[in-house]
Amino acid sequence: MMRIPRALTGFATSLALLTAPVQALDLTAMTEAERAVFGAEVRAYLLENPEVIIEAVNLLEQRQAVAEAAQDDALVANNLEELHNDGYSWVGGNPDGDITLVEFMDYRCGYCRRAAPEVAKLLAADGNIKLIIKEFPILGEASVLTSRFAIATRIVAGNDAYKQVHDALIEFGGEPNEVALRRLSEGLGLDTDAIMAAMNAPEINQELSQTRALAQRMNISGTPTFVLQDELLRGYLPADQMSVIIADKRDQRG
């Protein structure tokens, strides 16, 4: 007869207790001695079979990931109209594209700078993507200053000028102060005085406030954060990974 290890026998007994009717699961109904035996047998089994702990942790992480994804899907669905049609965010790529990519970004964010060429690569390879930029300055006063400057450029000089300034600010390596921003604007041939005068306009305050409120509702606290069609993607993603997600979404659509 095969001998069953004592620890395994004890664990089987403990497992039987755990799978028994609810009344039998009340550890408070056990005597101190019974609880001690129960705990010792479970501990002995886990020490002899530590992979069980790893399996349990992996399962817990999987369940948490599924729950978080479901929560994120609900956040996107509940805020989709403002994500796609807030009336002020810059729209690029193909405005009539079948896939919409929304990016919450900060000009001083290193990962936003890494993401910028990847987004450009994605748009160049796929002409059916609509890009929406959400100005979301979260890295201090310099970030707020650059976002105000970019939005003021859009208000004063239009979308094409905004795109020029946006790209320049993403690549900007110096300290983003008013002198540097004025020099950048003059280098692009823009109406610098008008842009600088508009930077504290009420509509800019409102835009930044509304975008911040939207991010809070969606539990977005970092940049870049993307909303790819109906999916929330937190953090930097290269173009090839986004392309795979887009292909899956188009396949699901049929």
Going along the chain from its start, the domains and CATH numbers come out as 6-52 (no CATH), 73-253 (3.40.30.10)
pLDDT confidence band for 37 (50 / 70 / 90): confident
Range name among 7-11, 126-130, 217-221, 225-229 with the lowest pLDDT average: 7-11
Phi, psi dihedrals of residue 101, rounded to the nearest 5°? -115, 115
pLDDT, averaged across the chain: 88
In terms of DSSP bridges, do strands 129-135 and 231-234 run parallel, antiparallel, or are they unpaired?
Answer: unpaired
Phi first, then psi: give them for residue 170, nearest 5 degrees.
-60, -35
Q: What is the rounded CA–CA span in Å between residue 208 and residue 107?
A: 14
Between 164 and 21, the higher pLDDT residue: 164
pLDDT at 189: 97
Q: List all residues 6 or more positions away from 34 whose beta carbon is below 8 Å from its beta carbon.
A: none
Question: What is the distance in angstroms between the CA of the first residue and the CA of the last residue of the chain?
Answer: 59
Buried residues in 196-235 as b, exposed as e (16+ CB within 10 A): bebbeeeebeebbebbbebbeebebeebbbbbbbeebbbe
45 vs 235 pLDDT, higher one: 235
- The Cβ of residue 12 has, within 10 Å, a number of other Cβ atoms equal to 13
CA within 13 Å, CB half, 231: 10
Q: Please state, in angstroms and rounded to a whole number, the distance separating the CA atoms of residues 119 and 103.
A: 10
pLDDT value for 46: 79
List, for residues 87-114, the tens digit of each pLDDT value.
999 999 999 999 999 999 999 999 999 9
Please determine, for residue 73, whether its predicted confidence score (pLDDT) is greater than 80: yes
Q: Does position 146 have pLDDT exceeding 50, yes or no?
A: yes
